[in-house]
Each structure stands twice: as structure tokens, then as C-alpha cells.
Amino acid sequence: MKKTIFALGCLLSLSPIWASTTVSDIVYADTLKKDGAQLQLNGAGIREIFVVDVYAAGLYLPQRSSTAEDVINMAGNKTVRLGLLRDVDAGDFVDALNEGILDNTTEDERQALSTELQSLIAVMNKIGDVKKGDIVDFDYSQTHETSVTVNGKLIGEKIGGEALYRTVLKIWLGEKAIDSDLKKSLLKN
């Protein structure tokens, strides 16, 4: 009996492989495998506009970090996973992306990435309207560079390199992040 209780105690003390974080109705696993890399959930939270929950967001990294600068400059695969909590018009989605980039980059940075930014906007327009429950991943890996998937379906890859992905991360983690509470939640590790 003592051996059984000891074994059960040892099992319960281990971090279960099914561990997850739930934000509204969106479940974020503690780990995510992308392009052969095992990523860890750094944090997750809700994007709110005028007290309306728009989407949940989870940030996956090679190793956890609590500072935006470290995350933005971190090497390796990364994923920002958005889980839509309501329907969002394609135009609104693209406008929010543009606003986040404009607020967190200089004119010179946008000029240097103009081709990649136009490609990203084209991919976002290709997605069209997103519906409640849709999962949109903004990924970076050396194989696929900056890529976007919707509900597991690749919509665009090799949109741009690491500089573009750092710019995308600034939407949520930049000095003028689109939602300061969400930024804090993503950096809570």
C-alpha cells in the first residue's frame, strides 16, 4: 500500500503532458511542436476593445522570458496563436495589424520591410473574415520564415524573414502594444 501511495505521489508531482491554460474558451497547451521545435507557452491573455473580448492570444517560445525586448530579439522558432472570441471582418483584422505596426516601428523600419509588409497584408486579405473559434497562428521558423496558418491550414509562408517577425511581435509586445494588459499576460511566465 505504501508503495502504491508513493508511486501515485510521484506521478502527481510530475507536470502532466496534458497541462494547459484556458483563456475564455481557447485552450493553450503548455507546449507546442512546430517545425520540429518544442515551444513553451510563455503567457496568454485576451485582446479587449471597449470591454468586448475580441481574441485570446498565446505566445510560444523556445524558452520563457518576461521581457519584451528579449522575446522580440530571441532566436529560434516562435508562435503567436490567436483564438477568435467573436467574428472579425477582414478589413478590421488588416487595419488592426497595420495600426500595431505603425505604432511600434519607425518610417525607416517600415521602408526596409515594405515588400514583406505588403506580402503580409496580402496574406491577411487572403484569409478574409475570421469567425468565432478560428485559430490564427503567426509563426517564425528558419524553414518557413514568417508564416500564417488558419485552423491548421497554411495560408502563406516565407512572407518575410526574422526582421518581419520581430515587427509582427511588436504589435503585441512593442512599447505601444495594441493592448497593454494583453502584453503583460503574454510576458507572464
Q: Is residue 73 part of a domain?
A: yes
Distances (CA, A) of 43 to 27, 56, 176, 185: 12, 11, 19, 6
Inter-CA distances, 113 with 103, 157, 170, Å: 15, 16, 14
**Is residue 2 a part of any domain in this protein?**
no
Q: Tell me which residue range forms the domain holding 39.
A: 17-186
* pLDDT exceeds 90 at position 30: yes
Cell of 5: 501511495
Contacts of 101 (CB under 8 A, 6+ apart): 110, 117, 167, 168, 170, 171
Say if 10 falls within a structural domain.
no
pLDDT confidence tier of residue 7, bands split at 50, 70 and 90: very low
pTM: 0.87
Q: How many domains are there within the chain?
A: 1
Does residue 152 fall inside a structural domain?
yes
Residue 19 — very low, low, confident or very high, per pLDDT cuts 50/70/90? confident
pLDDT tens for residues 56-74?
A: 999 999 999 999 999 999 9
pLDDT at 36: 87
Q: In Å, how far are 57, 123, 180 from 48, measured between CA atoms?
A: 11, 24, 10
The predicted-structure confidence for 118-166, as pLDDT tens digits, reads as follows 999 999 999 999 999 999 999 999 999 999 999 999 999 999 999 999 9
Residue 74 included in any domain: yes
In a domain, 12, yes or no: no
Q: Tell me, what's the pLDDT at 189?
A: 63
> Is residue 66 included in any domain, yes or no?
yes
Whether 175 is covered by a domain: the verdict is yes
Residue 10 has pLDDT above 70, yes or no: no
CATH number for 65: 3.50.70.10
